[in-house]
Structure 1
Amino acid sequence: MASEIRFEPGLYRGTAECYDRFRLPYPDTMIADLVRRTAPSRHGRLLDLACGTGQLTFPLRTWFADVWSVDAEPGMTEVVRAKANACCAGIRTITVGAEDLHAEPGTFELIVIGNAFHRLARALVAQRAHGWLRPGGFLALCWSTGPWAGPRNWQRALDGILRRWQNSLGASGRVPAGWDEARKQDPDHDVLSRAGFEPAGHHEFFVEHHWTIPELAGYIRSTSFLPLPVLADHADDFDTDLAAVLGSFAPDGRLTETIGYAYELTRKPAAL
């Protein structure tokens, strides 16, 4: 069994504004599919663990009487709280790491983790999530691909830009080397199975999106590897470089990506 890779705390400090503005929402088709498969009672409680700025909290909130939005980064929970105060009741924000959250057994009908399970102490969080769920409750690991990860020429060029700037700013170590190898050797579904979860399916969705270069610049500022605090006084130079390199791929000002979304659904066995 591979040892867990440790991500340093605070990697998303200073990203909340860009995260909320430039991260794309999960598609409505995926949210509807997740709701259909988990069949919330509308009287239960949802836990959005490592919630970011609420990309799962807000589209799922109407299906639950109570929602806990939990993130270790204060900036993220501040944004969720502000949005909730403006539009929604029944959303409780908690600033704490997933590993340190306290909840009573059987508290939740559904737990969702968006683009974050790999950053957590997976075995510990899976074990604790199993206890937090009511019998028959669900855990969904939700994912989306990044714009640098695809096969298009502009995406390969973007990946090269990001690597070059990470190296030049001394930021290449912010994401631990080999972070994905641990997940390949000990996949998420095996971690969840050892914690007592039953598999309930892997579900994928694809959406075509058209980026502008300024939107991509904003998205990069929402990442853990080149956030605005890392770019700092070099942010304008980065934007100029990004526009110069990617401009040749976007004669109409748009860069097309097919974004892959997915969720891995697991279930705590119902009580006998």
Structure 2
Amino acid sequence: MAEEIHFATDLYQGTAGYYDRYRLPYPAALLDYLVAASQVSGGGRLLDLACGTGQLAFPLSPHFAEVWAVDQERDMVATVRAKADAAGIKALRSVVSSAETLDAPPNSFELAVIGNAFHRLDRDLVARRMLDWLAPGGHLALCWSTSPWVGTEDWQRSLAATLNRWQQQLSAEERIPAGLDQARRDLPDADVLAEAGFEVVGRSAFTAEHSWTLEELTGHIRSTSFLPPAVLDDHGAAFDADLAATLLPHSADGIFTETVSSAYDLARKPA
């Protein structure tokens, strides 16, 4: 088995406000297909693990009697709790915990979801724990979407180069562990789930066009683990100015359009 890559536990500290405002929601079509494919009953329990500010927990909540939203970052969970209170959602339980140490009852969740985060976890351990937490016949969905600096548009290439330059300038390269991509090639997520005992159902993929403003892009970048506010610190204004100077030549109206790819990989606990 390939050696797992380990991330620091505080990489998203201070990002919750940016994360909630500037992270793109998952497409409605993806969520609809996921609900149908996982055959939820409407009266079960959902687990959103490494939930961020609830990008999956909230839109999926109408299909469940109870939702657990779990994240190791306290400010993420505090944001989830405030949003649930504001929306009057009583059946959402917000929990501060890592995926590896969460205390959850066995056979108790109808669906578990992880959004853009499985690669950051101890995948082997979490997959085994998920299998125990899910009810027989329950499903696990690994959800993800692409980032604006990954793409072939000229502005995306310039954005990626600018982010790389600033990571080097601020000595932030090691916030993303070396060898991550190779580790996932050596042991793909689907293989991890199969080895844990899941029946791998397969992938459903979706695309949608999205247009960003420069302000939205700078906010989105501050929601990341590699250039959050704590890393940019008092360089924030200089970073924003550099990004504007780099990107605006690629857009006459200050709008940057890309095709966003989203998907979920679905697996099932044997009945």
Q: TM-score surpassing 0.5?
A: yes
Partner of 1:211: 212
1:1-272 counterparts in 2 under 5 A? 1-87=1-87, 88-270=89-271
After TM superposition, the runs of 4+ consecutive aligned structure 1 residues lying more than 2 A away are: none
Q: Identity percentage over the alignment?
A: 57
AA partner of residue 15 (structure 1): T
* Alignment deviations for residues 34-55 of structure 1 (CA, whole Å, 9 cap, x no partner): 0111121111100000000000
* Alignment deviations for residues 194-230 of structure 1 (CA, whole Å, 9 cap, x no partner): 1110011200000100001110000000000000110
3-state SS of paired residue (2:184): helix
TM-score by length of 2: 0.99
TM-score by length of 1: 0.98
Q: Which runs of 5+ in 1 are unaligned?
A: none
**What is the number of equivalent residue pairs in this alignment?**
270
Deviation at 1:250, TM superposition (A): 1.2
AA partner of residue 218 (structure 1): G
Q: Which runs of 5+ in 2 are unaligned?
A: none
AA partner of residue 75 (structure 2): G
* Alignment deviations for residues 44-90 of structure 1 (CA, whole Å, 9 cap, x no partner): 10000000000000000000000000000001000000000011120
Deviation at 1:28, TM superposition (A): 0.3
3-state SS of paired residue (2:157): helix
Q: Name the CA distance, whole Å, in 2 between partners of 1:201 and 1:167.
A: 38
* Alignment deviations for residues 102-145 of structure 1 (CA, whole Å, 9 cap, x no partner): 11110100000000000000000000000000000000000000
* Alignment deviations for residues 153-196 of structure 1 (CA, whole Å, 9 cap, x no partner): 11110000000000001111111111111110000000000111
Q: Name the CA distance, whole Å, in 2 between partners of 1:249 and 1:209.
A: 16
